[in-house]
Amino acid sequence: MKILKYIIFIYLLVSVNYLSAQEENLQNKITKNLRCLICQGQSVYDSDSEFANSLKIIVKQKLSEGKSEKQIYNFLEDKYGKWILYDPEFSKNTYFLWILPIFLFVIGGVLILKLFIIKKN
């Protein structure tokens, strides 16, 4: 019963990343993932500041040149550093970031099983 649940989670986790590529306008998706650097906590998509507007134009240009999403992120990361990206990519710097919560989840499950469910002698 529980194993089934685990399988479903993992499947869903994978599918989220997989399927989300097809959703919505790619331009919107990219600009939602970019931080407006002169605003205090807004994405380029949400912001109407000068910087955000210029960045939207650049994203549009690059997309029409045929660049992929990853290439655009690399281009901007090169100019502005990783901070401009809201989605922390899964790299050696961020292993813990992504894995730690899942790890804690698994530990939690194990703890509950051991302490409360499995019959003690």
Partner 1 sequence: MASLIGYYSLIFGLCSSFFIIFFSVKNFKDSSTFNNKILSLTFLQLFFVVVSFFGLILSFVNSDFSNETVFNHSHTTKPLFYKISGTWGNHEGSLLLWLLVLTLFIFLFLLKSKTQTKKYRILTLLFQQIIIIGFFIFLIKTSNPFNYIFPIPSEGLGLNPILQDPALAFHPPILYLGYVGSSIIFSSTLSAASLNYISKDWAKHIKEWVLISWIFLTLGILLGSIWAYYELGWGGFWFWDPVENVSLMPWLALTTLLHCILVLEKRLALTSWVVILSISTFTLSMCGTFLVRSGILNSVHTFASDPERGLFILIFLFCLIFLSLFIFFFFHKVEKKNMKNFFWLSKETSILINNWFMMYFLSVVLIGTIYPIFLEVISSDKISVGPPFYNKLIIPFLIPFLLAMAIGPKLDWIKSEFQIKLYSVLFLIISISLSFLIIKNLSVNFLLNTILVSSAFYLFFITLRDFFDKKFKLFSQTLAHFGFSLFILSILFNNIFSTEIITNLKIGETFKDDKFKINFEKIEKRNEQNFKEIVGKFSIENHNGDVDILEPAIRIYNQPNISTSEADIKTNLLTDKFMTMNLIQNQEYFSIRYQIKPFMLWIWFSVSLISLGGLISLFYRKYEK
Partner 2 sequence: MKNKIFPTFLVFFFLSIFFIFFKGLQNSNIYIPNTNLEKNIPSFIAKLFDSDDNISSEEIFKENKFYLMNIWASWCVPCREEHSFLMNLSNEKNIEIIGFNYKDNNAKAKSFLSELDNPYNLIISDKDGTLSIEWGAYGVPESFLIYNNKIIKKIIGPIDKDLFFEIKELIQ
* Contact residues for partner 2, defined by CB under 8 A: 37-38, 50-51, 53-55, 57-58, 61, 79-81, 83
Give me the helix-helix angle, 50-64 and 69-80, nearest 10°: 140
Is position 121 an interface residue for partner 1 (rule: CB under 8 A)?
no
Q: Which of 7, 48, 61, 95 binds partner 1 (CB under 8 A)?
A: 48
CA distance linking residue 79 with residue 72, whole number of Å:
11
Minimal distance, residue 74 CB to partner 1, in Å: 15
**Neighbouring C-beta atoms of residue 11, cutoff 10 Å:** 10
What phi, psi does 22 have (nearest 5°)? -85, -15
CB nearer partner 2, residue 51 or residue 96: 51
Task: Choose the binding region for partner 1 from 59-67, 68-76, 104-112 (rule: CB under 8 A).
Answer: 104-112
